[in-house]
Structure 1
Amino acid sequence: MFMTKSIGILYICTGPYVLFWKDFYESFEKNFLPSYEKRYYVFTDAEEIFAENNLNVKKIAIEPMPWPLITLFRFSTFLKIEDELNKCDYLMFSNANMICNEIITPEEFLPRKNEVLSVTSHPGYYGKSVIEFPYERRKSSTAYIPWNCGKNYVIGAMFCGTSDAFIKMSKTLKHNIEEDLKKNIIAKWHDESQLNRYIVNKPDVRILEPMYCYPCGMEVSYPKKIYAVSKQAKFDVKTFKGQYSKRQNVLRKYLGILKRKLLLKERFMYLIDTISGAHIEEISDEE
């Protein structure tokens, strides 16, 4: 007898981010893995959420935290319901402000044979040189990556895996983040830096193209399968709009000079790490 496979969708929406939930839910119900049973785990401080009485929606109460703690501690948040998550075949996390715009099939999105995780290429760094990737470069951090290591830069906003692999990764990254915090360290791009370190040298990770996390406010050449919605679309945010137009040109010029200087430094550090044979091992999972 054929059994329908299931995927647990982990969704965090505290404060005003709950405003994105209805559109997210309706679009993913319609287009995301139509042949799969979808179970939504919504971590929120909202008293009520859209469709909370539906059988495939489970609301989990959490306290709001200031940024970047809400994103940094997401793996700890997931593990609050580890027993429940173990009942799913697959698990995925998505940022709150996403819309699934087209039909997404298991074959194109989920890990393939001999793979256990799927991660999404960061649209801002797709196709760029490794020395331009904003990896964590401090050796004191558990997310440290030498300049001559790494092949991809992935976004922290969209990833999935088998439930076993996803939970193991969550435990490992929770541990690594806590180890950094003991030393008063937060990795450069928080959980995203930790995720990028985690996948280095792992042969069982599928790297998806950026079409599964199409950026807000950018026109890029790949299809718009899953895309980010502007906060202004929900919050009516127009803070400082138009106030700094005269300063922007000066700022762009300064940033251009700074970027050129930084690129010289990055090439130098890449050369040093290459000559010295800097390397890192694959991260072993926490049990």
Structure 2
Amino acid sequence: MNSKRKMRLLILLSLLLILTEHHFSIKNHLQKMYACWNDQVEEPQLSAWFNSKMRPDVITRTDWFAPVIWEGTYNRQVLENYYKKLNITIGLVVFAPEQFVDHYMKKFLQSANKHFMVGFNVIFYIFFDGKTKLPYIEMSLLRTFKLFPLVNESINQDISIRTMKNFNIHLVDKIQYEVDFLFIMAVNQIFKNDFGVEALGKSVAQLHAWWYFKTINEFPYERRHKSAAFIPFEQGDFYYHKAIFGGTPQEILVFFTQCIKGIKSDIRRKINSLYESHLNKYFFVNKPTKLLSPEYNWDPKFKTPPQIKHVNIAWQSEII
């Protein structure tokens, strides 16, 4: 009888230990979030690390007063000192369908391992076709990666849309509790220089290099009135690239919820809309709090204009 009671007590203690660890894991994450967005650790004022006057040749502030990050406008060290006190973890999500892995994945991961958020805790979340063999990459210190097989979808849309539901499930169940900030990136790009904490923000959008020097009416917004991604002529701010966007996990969760809702609406109306169109509609309605200049994703196919002084990421044409 005593042995049975001891066994039950051990089982009970084991369960309590698991629940306690889970509780403190979530509690620690929430405390870090609270410290980040409240004043337990004082957040530096924008003027302490960002100077829009340093680049008079480009747009450095939006109409809604969000900073546009260009080379020469920011002091990364001020932000690094702040975020290191918070001991933050940053997630990087990349989708790797089978046809993209061999051509792009190794270079993307090698360059991200070298240049993405150097000196900070980073988790790489790789979503891939289960039958695909991923390249081996030896990770640097403070870096880990997690693999998630993609479940096949029958939705006849581009690659990004077919993977959204897969990612959203993991974001809801786990990822949002593991990281303080999260970036979603396309695999067909290569980091050329450090992509640092100046890019962190509540809601971060990437200006599209192809359309930055064009006018609003030239942007390839969704112009069909019946689409959930519809933006009328003469309206809009910038054209944003699907290659990079980021923010807090909570903001990204809101984005994906709205995006999936819009795509489902278009499917019911038999409209074949693009993920990038829905991304642009979302940022048209919900203004991003920080914008990354085309220097953070420049297409080397184009002649580099004088405004592009420091390429952080090179976009790779989808030639496969």
TM-score normalised by the chain length of structure 1: 0.72
Q: CA RMSD in A?
A: 2.3
* Range 62-71 or range 196-205, more displaced: 62-71
Match of 2:267 among 153, 178, 181: 181
- The one-letter code sitting in structure 2 at the alignment partner of 1:84 is K
- The one-letter code sitting in structure 2 at the alignment partner of 1:110 is L
* Range 52-61 or range 19-28, more displaced: 52-61
Q: Which residue of 2 aligns with 1:242?
A: none
* 1:4 is the counterpart of 2:87: yes
Q: In 1, distance between residues paired with 2:157 and 2:116?
A: 28
Query: How far apart are 1:220 and its partner, in Å?
Result: 2.1
Query: How far apart are 1:166 and its partner, in Å?
Result: 0.8
Shift of the 53–76 alpha-carbon distance from structure 1 to 2, 3 Å rule, reads: farther
Q: Which residue of 1 aligns with 2:232?
A: 146
Q: Any conservation in 2 of the 1:216–1:230 contact (CA below 8 Å)?
A: no
Match of 1:198 among 258, 282, 292: 282
Match of 1:61 among 149, 152, 157: 149
* 1:156 is the counterpart of 2:239: no
Match of 1:86 among 176, 199, 212: 176
Shift of the 196–204 alpha-carbon distance from structure 1 to 2, 3 Å rule, reads: closer
Shift of the 3–208 alpha-carbon distance from structure 1 to 2, 3 Å rule, reads: closer
Query: How far apart are 1:122 and its partner, in Å?
Result: 0.9
Query: How far apart are 1:210 and its partner, in Å?
Result: 1.0
Match of 1:225 among 309, 312, 316: 312
Q: Which residue of 2 aligns with 1:73?
A: 162
Q: Which residue of 2 aligns with 1:36?
A: 120
Q: Any conservation in 2 of the 1:14–1:64 contact (CA below 8 Å)?
A: no
Query: How far apart are 1:71 and its partner, in Å?
Result: 2.0
Number of aligned residue pairs = 226
Query: How far apart are 1:224 and its partner, in Å?
Result: 1.8
* 1:48 is the counterpart of 2:129: no
The SS at the match of 1:73 is helix
Q: In 2, distance between residues paired with 1:67 and 1:36?
A: 38
Q: Which of 1 and 2 has greater Rg?
A: 2
Q: Any conservation in 2 of the 1:4–1:35 contact (CA below 8 Å)?
A: no
The SS at the match of 1:56 is strand
Q: Which residue of 2 aligns with 1:25?
A: 109
Q: Which residue of 2 aligns with 1:270?
A: none
- The one-letter code sitting in structure 2 at the alignment partner of 1:225 is N
Query: How far apart are 1:228 and its partner, in Å?
Result: 1.9
1:182-241 deviations in Å (ceiling 9; x for gaps): 111122xx0100011001143443221111111142222213211123455xx6xxxxxx
* Range 30-39 or range 1-10, more displaced: 1-10
Q: Any conservation in 2 of the 1:75–1:171 contact (CA below 8 Å)?
A: no
- The one-letter code sitting in structure 2 at the alignment partner of 1:218 is F
Where structure 2 has 5 or more consecutive residues not aligned to the other structure, the ranges are 1-83
Query: How far apart are 1:76 and its partner, in Å?
Result: 1.7
Q: In 1, distance between residues paired with 2:90 and 2:270?
A: 36
Q: In 1, distance between residues paired with 2:301 and 2:213?
A: 19
The SS at the match of 2:291 is strand
Q: Any conservation in 1 of the 2:229–2:281 contact (CA below 8 Å)?
A: yes
